[in-house]
Amino acid sequence: GGIITQTPKFLIGQEGQKLTLKCQQNFNHDTMYWYRQDSGKGLRLIYYSITENDLQKGDLSEGYDASREKKSSFSLTVTSAQKNEMAVFLCASSPGQGFQAPLFGEGTRLSVL
């Protein structure tokens, strides 16, 4: 069976630091997503990508970069971590044709000291 793997599971950073989160999927899905989850705010879309080397901005793209170097992987960079920031970053993927529910990874939990 397929799986979505997010690394690292936990990430502790310093204020101002550049941090990179990685996501791999072996479903051969075309579309991949990065969401941020804050307590009480649900999930907000940061970036998504409909194919290799494609990038589409979500509602929360400011302060982030993303990269889709190959179909199976989608990375997210926090360009400058904010002090006391705490959030969960969720990666998801879905097939490109029609609409099917995206499948989610287990998340990366970020804490900034």
Partner 1 sequence: GQQVQQSPASLVLQEGENAELQCNFSTSLNSMQWFYQRPGGSLVSLFYNPSGTKQSGRLTSTTVIKERRSSLHISSSQTTDSGTYLCAMAHYGGSGNKLIFGTGTLLSVKP
- Could you list the residues that contact partner 1 (CB under 8 A)? 31, 33, 35, 40-45, 48-50, 56, 58, 90, 92, 94, 96, 99-107
* β-strand pairing of 56-57 with 43-49: antiparallel
Q: Give yes or no for a contact between 103 and 73, defined as CB atoms under 8 angstroms apart.
A: no
Give the residue with the Cβ less far from partner 1, 80 or 111. 111
Spatial CA neighbour of 96 closest among 4, 3, 49, 29: 29
Q: Which is nearer to partner 1, 57 or 83 (CB)?
A: 57
Q: Least distance (Å) from partner 1 to the CB of residue 16? A: 28
Report the residue number, 15 or 54, with the smaller CB distance to partner 1.
Answer: 54
Minimal distance, residue 50 CB to partner 1, in Å: 4
Question: Least Å distance between CB 35 and partner 1?
Answer: 8
Q: Do 90 and 43 meet the contact criterion of CB atoms below 8 Å apart?
A: yes
Cα(61)–Cα(45) distance, rounded to whole angstroms?
8
